[in-house]
Amino acid sequence: MSGSILIADDHPLFRQALAVAVATVAPDLRVIEAGTLASAAKAASEAEDLRLVTLDLKMPGAIGYSGIALLHAEKPDVPILVVSSAEGANAAEEARAFGAVGFLRKDADLSQIEDAIRAALGGSTAPVKKTSAVDKVRGEVAGLTPTQLKVLLAVLDGKLNKQIAFDLGMSEATVKAHMTAIMRKLDVQNRTQAALVARSLGLDLAH
Q: What is the pTM of this model?
A: 0.70
Say if residue 58 is in the same domain as residue 159. no
Classify 34 as helix, strand or coil: strand
Classify 146 as helix, strand or coil: helix
Dist CA 130 CA 13 (whole Å):
36
Number of domains comprising the chain: 2
Determine phi and psi for 77, rounding to 5 degrees: -95, -5
- Environment class of residue 132 by beta-carbon count within 10 Å: exposed (0-12), middle (13-18) or buried (19+)? exposed
Write down which residue in 121, 142, 175 finishes a domain.
Answer: 121
* Average pLDDT of the residues in 201-206: 58
CATH of the domain at 108: 3.40.50.2300
* Average pLDDT of the residues in 42-62: 89
Question: Is 5 within 8 Å of 51 (Cβ atoms)?
Answer: yes
Say if residue 113 is in the same domain as residue 154. no
pLDDT on residue 135 = 66
pLDDT on residue 1 = 66
pLDDT on residue 81 = 93
Q: What is the DSSP letter of 63?
A: -
pLDDT on residue 31 = 95
Residues 166/37/61/70 CA torsion (nearest 10 deg): 70
Say if residue 67 is in the same domain as residue 147. no
Residues 154, 156, 158, 160: is their CA dihedral positive or negative? positive
Q: Which residue segment(s) compose the domain that 163 sits in?
A: 133-200
Residue 80 covered by a domain: yes
pLDDT on residue 132 = 58
- Environment class of residue 20 by beta-carbon count within 10 Å: exposed (0-12), middle (13-18) or buried (19+)? middle
* Average pLDDT of the residues in 42-61: 90
133-157 pLDDT tens trace: 566 777 777 778 888 888 988 888 8
CATH of the domain at 171: 1.10.10.10
